[in-house]
Amino acid sequence: MDTPLIASLVQAPSLLARRISSARSLSLVSNAAAALLASYPKSGRTWLRFILSQYFLASRQYAPITTQSMFTFAPNFDLDPIRGIPAFVRRSEEASFPLVPSTHLRFKPTLPSRLPVMFLIRDPRAVLISDYHHVTRHKLSFRGSIDDFLINEDRGLPHYIKYMNSWAIGLARHDHHIIYYEDLLADTESEVERMLEFLDDPVNFKALQYAVESSSFEKLKALELAQGIPGHDYDRSDADALRIRKGQSDSFREELTIDQQKFIEDSCKSQLDRRMLARLERYGFLDIHPSPAAGQTRTPKSPAPKEAAHDFTTNRRLANLGVQLLSEVMVIIGLAAMVVAPPILVIEVGEWLFRREWDGHSLEDGLALFGIDRLGPVETPTEQFLDVLLALPLTITLFLYGLFTLLAGVHFGDWGLQGVRLKKKLAVRQSRKSRKIMPKSPSSDPEPA
C-alpha cells in the first residue's frame, strides 16, 4: 500500500484548512493595507523598502532600522512571524503608519480590487543577470550557464514574461503607481515623495532626507555584511551572493553579451503583453516614439497632484463602506433564507404524515411563497405526498441559497474577533491623517531619532 499517498490524503483536510485560514487572514490584511508593493525579484525591492522603513522610523521617532528589523515596517505579504504581516502587527501597536506589504508573486484575480498597487520595474536585462547571480551564488538553487538560465522555465526569461504579463492584467484592474528603479537611482527623494503622496501619508521632508541618506548602497551593504538578511543563509564574503550587490542601472552591459541582450529584447517584444511592453518603452523595447539622442534621457512624467491621492483615498473608504454594507445585507438575507426553509419542509411533511386539516383547507405553507401551492380541501394522501415532493427541492434550494449568500457575506465583509483585532492594530488614526503636509523648511521638522 502506498504509505505516502495515504499520508497525503490524511493531511489534505488540515492543509486545506490552513490555506483557507491564511487566505482569509491575508484578505483581512488587504483591507487594512495602504498599498501592495509588487515587483519581480532583483528589481530593487530590498533597497526601496529599506528606504520606506527608514522614513517611517524617522517620521515616527523610532530607533535606527537594520536589515533584521526593516520587516516590522515593510513586511512581506504573507504570515511569516519574522518577515511577514505578524511582525508589522506587533510594531503597529506602538504607532500608526501605512501598511505596505511586499510580494514577488504573480497577480491573482483573488487580490481585492480595492487594494492599490505600487509596481516596481527595472530593466529586464539587469533583472535577469542579477537574478542569475542570486540563484547561483546566494540561493545555490541553479547550476548552469547564463544561457541555460535565460531559457529556464522555472526562473529564467519565460518565468519573467509570465510574471510581467500577469501584472499587465493586474495593473489594469487596480489603482496603481509605477516606480522605475532607474528613476529611484537618479532622484531618490523625488520618487519616494511621490510614493508617499500615493499612500496619502503626509511628507516629512527632513525625515525623507534622513531616510535617503541612511539607505545609501554603501551603508546598506555594510549592514548586510554585518547582520545578513532574516531567513537567508549564504556566504556574505562572496560579493555576488549579497542581496545588495552593485546598485547600478546598466552593469548588465558588462556581463551580458550582445547576443544575450538581443535575445532578451526580442523575447520581450514578441511575448510580453502590449500593455506591459509599453511600460518598458524607455529601455528601447518598443519604439513608439523616437529614441532619445545619445547622452539624453526621457523626461519623466509629471507626478499626479496631491489632490488626486486624497480623492483616491476618499473613494477607497467609500468603496470599503459600500462593500461592508453589502456584506451585512447578504448575511441578513442568507440567515433569513436558512431560517425560513426548514419550517416550510417540516410543515409539508407534518401535513402529509398526520393528514391534518385546518378549517377544511391545507396549511398555507411556504409553497405559497413561490405561487405553487393552492388553497383547498385535502382530498387524498397522494396530493399531500405530491406537495412534499414539490416542497423538498424548493426548500433545499432556498436553504442552499441562504447558506451561500451567508458565506459570501462573511467572506467579503470583516467579521469576528480576528477582523476586529486587525482593524484595531492596522487602521491609521484619522487624527494623524488630518495632519498637514510639512514644509521643506529644516526648522519646522523634528530631528529623526
CA 29 – CA 24 distance, rounded (Å): 9
Name the helix (H) or strand (E) containing 315: helix 306-354
E strand or H helix that includes residue 332: helix 306-354
What is the distance of C-alpha 25 from the center of its chain?
12
pLDDT at 82 over 80: no
79, part of any domain:
yes
Dmax (CA) of the chain: 98
Same domain, 172 and 320: no
Query: By C-alpha distance, which of 52, 384, 38 is closest to 194?
Result: 52
User: Quick check: pTM over 0.85?
Assistant: no
Whether residue 136 contacts residue 255, with contact meaning beta carbons closer than 8 Å, is answered with no
pLDDT at res. 54 = 86
| Mean pLDDT (the chain, rounded) | 72
Residue 23, φ and ψ in degrees, nearest 5: -60, -40
354: pLDDT strictly greater than 60: no
Please report where in the chains the cell 550557464 appears, as a residue.
145
Residues 44 and 186 both lie in one domain: yes
Q: How far apart are CA 406 and CA 337, in angstroms?
A: 9
pLDDT at 193: 95
Does 291 share its domain with 359?
A: no
167-180: pLDDT as tens digits: 999 999 999 999 99
Select from 186, 211, 178 the least CA-distant residue to 97. 211
Dihedral of the CA atoms 76, 79, 82, 86 (nearest 10)? 100
Q: What is the signed CA dihedral for 404, 406, 407, 409, rounded to 10 degrees?
A: 120
Distance (Å, rounded) from C-alpha 205 to C-alpha 444? Answer: 10
Asked whether residue 147 carries a pLDDT value surpassing 80, the answer given is yes
Cell of 35: 498599498
| CB under 8 A, 24+ apart: contacts of 312-316 | 312/116, 312/175, 312/200, 313/200, 316/114, 316/116, 316/175
Domain shared by 258 and 371, yes or no: no
Report the first-to-last Cα separation within the chain, whole angstroms: 64
DSSP letter string over 105-157? SPP-TTS-TTS-EEEEE--HHHHHHHHHHIIIIIS----S-HHHHHT-TTTSH
In DSSP terms, 180 is beta-bridged to: 121
Most confident of 21-35, 183-197, 389-403, 423-437: 183-197
CA distances from 184 to 174, 188, 192 (A): 22, 5, 8
Between CA 202 and CA 200 the distance in angstroms is 6
Average pLDDT over residues 57-62: 72
- Using the predicted structure, report yes or no on whether residue 295 has a pLDDT greater than 90: no
Residues 102 and 227 in one domain: yes
Question: How do residues 300-338 score in pLDDT, each as one tens digit?
Answer: 444 444 454 455 555 655 666 677 678 788 888 888 888
Contact 370, 409 (CB under 8 A): no
Strand 176-180 relative to strand 102-103, pairing: unpaired
Residue reference for cell 510574471: 163
Q: Which amino acid is at 166?
A: S
As a whole number, mean pLDDT of residues 66-86 equals 62
Tell me: do 142 and 257 sit in the same domain.
Answer: yes
CATH code: domain of residue 108: 3.40.50.300
Number of domains in the chain: 2
Q: Where does a domain end: 304, 324, 351?
A: 304
Percent above pLDDT 90 for the chain: 25
Same domain, 210 and 359: no
Three-state secondary structure call for residue 102 = strand
Query: Does residue 6 lie in a domain region?
Result: no
Per-residue model confidence (pLDDT) at position 39: 95
pLDDT for res 270: 93
Residue 177: per-residue pLDDT:
96
- Domain carrying residue 41: 22-304
Judged by DSSP in three states, 361 sits in strand
The model's confidence at residue 7, banded by pLDDT at 50, 70 and 90, is low
Residue 11 maps to a domain: no
Whether 212 and 356 map to the same domain: the answer is no
Which of 31-35, 127-131, 321-325, 424-428 shows the lowest per-residue confidence on average (mean pLDDT)?
424-428
Sheet with 36-39: strands ordered across:
102-103, 36-39, 117-121, 176-180
Judge whether 309 lies within some domain: no
- Reported as a pLDDT band with limits 50, 70 and 90, residue 415 is low
Place of cell 447578504: 330
